[in-house]
Amino acid sequence: MDALQIEGGPPLVGEVKISGAKNAALPILAAALLVDGPVTIGNVPHLQDVTTSNELLGRMGVTVSIDEKMRVTVDASTIAHFVAPYELVKTMRASILVLGPLLARFGQADVSLPGGCAIGARPVDLHVAGLSQLGADIRIENGFIRARAKRLRGCRLVLDTVTVTGTENLMMAATLAEGTTIIENAAREPEVVDLANFLNVMGARIRGAGSATLVIEGVDRLHGGSYDVLPDRIEAGTYLLAGAITRGRVKVRDVEPAHLDAVLAKISEAGGEVTTGDRWIQVDMHGQRPRSVDIRTAPYPAFPTDMQAQFAALNSVAEGVATITETIFENRFMHMVEMRRLGADIRVEGNTAIIRGVPRLTAAPVMATDLRASASLVLAALVAEGRTQIERIYHIDRGYERIEEKLNALGADIRRVPA
C-alpha cells in the first residue's frame, strides 16, 4: 500500500485542469447496459472506481474498450451473465447501479448486496422498493439481490429520502418500462442530470432532471451514440480549498461554476475572493488567514456532504470557531479524529463538530479512512509544519486523478512512497 508524504509549506498558486466526474461516469457506464448498440463515453476520469466498473461490465461478457484518450466504448450486445459478484461490489458500492439497467433490459439481475462502508450503513432499501413497485420480483438471499421482471411497468414513485444512486437506478429502469414513471423527491445533483442527458441522447424520454420530479416515458429501445461526462465539481472544490487553506490563489479549469454555488458562497464567507468565467473558477486568499465558516450538509443544491471534510480542514486553521453538521451520513467524521493528531481543536457532539481554528497545525502520521476524509488530510498536511505521512491512500485514488501531480504543479511538495 502506498502513502503520501507532504511537506507543509508555501501558498499554492496556479491552475488545475479538472477531470470528468466520478459520480457521473459510474452511473453512465452502468446505463450503457440499457443501450442496443455500442456507446462511447468521453471525459472519463482515470480512477480505480472506473477500472472496477469496466471490470464488472467485462465479467458480464459486455465488450469494453478504452482508447488512448480514455474514451470508453461499451457494447452490451455480447452480455452473457447478469451477475455483479460480491468480490467486486465490496470494493465499489456503486456497482449497485447495474441493478436497474440489467432488470429493465434483460429482465434479470443478481447483484451482491453492497455492504456498509466507513461513512455509514448505506442501505439500498429505496432502490429495491422502487424496482418492486415497477413490477420486479425481488428476493434478498445469500447476500444477493435477486431480481426478475418480464417487463417493468411505469408508475408513480415517491422516495422517502433523497437518494442519488437510488434516483439514478430507478430512472434508468424506467427508461425501458412500459408506460410513464414519475419519481417524486428525486435527487437534483448535477450527476443525476448528466445521466438523464446521456439517456436522452440515446433515445430515452426523461423530463424534469435537476428538479425533484422526474417524468420518464418508457421506450422500446435505446440506440448507440457518444457522450462526454460532466466535470467533477467535488474535485474542483477540493483544489479551490487547497488554494484557500494555503492562503494562495488557485484557478480550476474545465468546470461548471453553477454546480458549486453553495461551496463558492462558503469560500467567499471564509474570506476568499471568488471570480468565475466560462468554465473556470478562481479563489484568491491574498495571503490572508481564512475565517471560520459554519457548514450544514444537505442534498443538492444545498451544501454537498462530499465537501464537508475539506471544510473541516479549512476551519481547523481559520480565525474563529465554527460548527459542521453532517445530515446525510451517520459516520462521516472520521477525519476529525485524524486531524486532531495534526493539532486541530475539534470537539464532536453527535452529528455536529465544533472546530476552533488554531494558528498552525503540526505534522504527524495519519490514516485515510474514506475518499473525502483522505482529501481533507491532504489539505491539512499542506499547511501542517513539517512532513505529514498519510497511510492507506488507495482511498484517495478512488476519487482523485493524479492528485500529487496536480498539487505539485501548484507548488506543493507531495510525493507518493511505498508504505
Considering the rule CB under 6 A, would residue 43 count as an interface residue with ligand EPZ? no
Dist CA 378 CA 384 (whole Å) = 10
* Least distance in angstroms from the C-beta of 77 to ligand EPZ: 26
SS (H, E, C) 43-95: CCCCCHHHHHHHHHHHHCCCEEEECCCCCEEEEHHHCCCCEECHHHHCCCHHH
Nearer CB in complex with ligand EPZ: 75/370: 370
* Least distance in angstroms from the C-beta of 164 to ligand EPZ: 3
334-373 residues in contact with ligand EPZ (CB under 6 A) are 371-372
101-140 residues in contact with ligand EPZ (CB under 6 A) are 120, 122-127
Cell numbers found for residue 4: 503520501
Sign of CA dihedral 159, 163, 164, 168: negative
Among 197, 305, 369, 374, binds ligand EPZ (CB under 6 A): 305
Considering the rule CB under 6 A, would residue 329 count as an interface residue with ligand EPZ? yes
| Cβ atoms < 10 Å from Cβ of 80 | 8
The number of residues that bind ligand EPZ (CB under 6 A) is 23
Considering the rule CB under 6 A, would residue 399 count as an interface residue with ligand EPZ? yes
* Least distance in angstroms from the C-beta of 248 to ligand EPZ: 25
Considering the rule CB under 6 A, would residue 306 count as an interface residue with ligand EPZ? yes
SS3 362: strand
Instruction: Residue 303: name the closest of 266, 356, 272 by CA.
Output: 266
Residue type, 88: L
Among 5, 52, 163, 308, binds ligand EPZ (CB under 6 A): 163
Considering the rule CB under 6 A, would residue 164 count as an interface residue with ligand EPZ? yes
SS3 179: coil
* Least distance in angstroms from the C-beta of 9 to ligand EPZ: 27
Phi, psi of 96 (to 5 degrees): -60, -20
55-94 residues in contact with ligand EPZ (CB under 6 A) are 94
> Which residues of the shown chain bind ligand EPZ in the complex (CB under 6 A)?
22-23, 26, 94, 120, 122-127, 161, 163-166, 305-306, 328-329, 371-372, 399
